[in-house]
Amino acid sequence: MSESHAIPQGVGNTVAAHVRLAITIQKYNPEIDTHPHDEIYHLEVPRGLTILDALIRIKNEQDGRLTFRYSCRSAICGSCAMTVNGAEQLACRTSVRQEWERYGDIRIAPLKNLDVIKDLAVDMRSFWEKTQAIVPWLLAETSPGAHPSGMNTYTFHNVDACIMCGACVAACTSHEADRRFLGPAALAKAYRFVADAREAEDARTARLAALQEPSGMWDCTRCNFCVQVCPKDVQPMEAIIRLRRAAIDRGLTHTEGARHVIGFRDLIAKYGRLNEGIMPLKVIGLNLRRFLDILPLGVRMLLKGKVPSPLHPSIKGVERVRAILERSGPRSDVSHLRPNVVDHANRG
């Protein structure tokens, strides 16, 4: 006889205190399985039961071979991160009932983009190696002491709240495409030291220069998934953007990513809008090989009418656009684009 997976309704159409639910778990034992497979477990679920609680009960009551990680059970250690109904979450703070009521199903799988050791436990070695690669300690001229005057936790924009759970790496589309990418967690950790006033200035510049390399800060596509799944509101993508700004402020502009930012700003300042016909040339600079690489694509786009004219004039009111950019700080200094206008009212 098949079991009903629907939530039984109580008096007054309120959800019953206990319901019997089907929980689907992706299992994989490399010693005996060639591919991951799903197994379904049925469990009486009271109010307040978390995904982690459910997994512990299934392991204790139904399948002692089920493998997963957990430690603190308080959303502090980050050990129990996994994929629940397609989203990267901490199992210890995810409600079984709320997930069921929202999706009508409970499906649990390991974190994506990381090799599976067994069942829900993933190999975190690459995660820790990338964290180690960004040199996760202060490089100060003297022994770091108390916080300098005016320095507080806001200086770090909450990146120091990271619990290293790996959820952002599992959600990252850049990491999915290139496993060499440092990833949002490591880059956010790097920003924590760049933002620290105790870091020596030459060490800060060297740190930023190292992050300019391929698979570094400029490989982030800004998909924003890391921000969406972070259980501690670290907002790794925003930290990566701040790293980029800091690098440009220090004259580290030799990468295509940096030239894209600068070229975009300069074109907006000059025309009041993006000149898409010139933008690719701003990005590749004087690199003849890169020009030859993109030339076939440019020709195909031109033949299909996808390339706008690079000769379009500035928009009406471009001076107001330049004024906004000038107010945003040194990175957007566009005063050199202002025409020399004689102020007749103040002429002697």
> Which tokens belong to 54?
């459910």
pLDDT band at 310 (very low <50, low <70, confident <90, very high): confident
Count: domains in the chain: 3
Report strand pairing: 116-118 vs 121-122. Answer: antiparallel
Check whether residue 267 and residue 320 sit in a common domain. yes
pLDDT band at 126 (very low <50, low <70, confident <90, very high): very high
Domain membership flag for residue 2: no
Domain membership flag for residue 45: yes
Does the pLDDT at position 84 exceed 80? yes
- If phi > 0 it is left, if psi is from -120 to 50 it is alpha, else beta; for residue 306 that is alpha
- If phi > 0 it is left, if psi is from -120 to 50 it is alpha, else beta; for residue 113 that is left
Q: Which whole number is the average pLDDT over 140-167? A: 75
Of 312, 309, 308, 326, nearest to 271 by C-alpha is 312
Last residue of a domain, one of 208, 233, 249: 249
Give the whole-angstrom CA distance, residue 239 versus residue 192. Answer: 8
Residue linked to tokens 């202060």: 138
Check whether residue 319 and residue 270 sit in a common domain. yes
Check whether residue 114 and residue 138 sit in a common domain. no
Check whether residue 190 and residue 106 sit in a common domain. no
Helix (H, G, I), strand (E, B) or coil at 103: helix
Domain membership flag for residue 224: yes
pLDDT tens across 23-55, in order? 999 999 999 999 999 999 999 999 999 999 999
Helix axes 51-61, 96-103, angle to 10 degrees: 110
Which segment of 130-134, 229-233, 284-288, 325-329 scores lowest on mean pLDDT?
Answer: 325-329
Report strand pairing: 107-109 vs 18-27. Answer: parallel
Contact present, 222 and 237 (Cβ < 8 Å): yes
pLDDT tens across 255-303, in order? 999 999 999 999 998 888 888 888 888 888 888 888 899 889 888 888 8
Alpha helix positions (H), 65-183: 96-103, 125-133, 167-171, 173-177
pLDDT band at 340 (very low <50, low <70, confident <90, very high): very low
What's the domain range around 48? 11-122
pLDDT tens across 170-200, in order? 999 999 999 999 999 999 999 999 999 999 9
The CATH number of residue 172's host domain is 1.10.1060.10
Of 13, 22, 73, nearest to 44 by C-alpha is 22
Last residue of a domain, one of 122, 138, 170: 122
Last residue of a domain, one of 122, 154, 170: 122
Check whether residue 240 and residue 135 sit in a common domain. yes
Domain membership flag for residue 6: no
Domain membership flag for residue 70: yes
Check whether residue 147 and residue 261 sit in a common domain. no
Give the whole-angstrom CA distance, residue 78 versus residue 61. Answer: 25
Question: Of 144-148, 230-234, 308-312, where does the model show the most confidence?
Answer: 230-234
- The reported pLDDT for the residue numbered 338 is 47
Does the pLDDT at position 238 exceed 80? yes
Helix axes 318-327, 256-271, angle to 10 degrees: 130
Give the whole-angstrom CA distance, residue 348 versus residue 344. Answer: 9
Q: Taking the model in full, what pTM does it have?
A: 0.82
- The reported pLDDT for the residue numbered 142 is 62
Check whether residue 149 and residue 235 sit in a common domain. yes
Domain membership flag for residue 340: yes
The CATH number of residue 102's host domain is 3.10.20.30
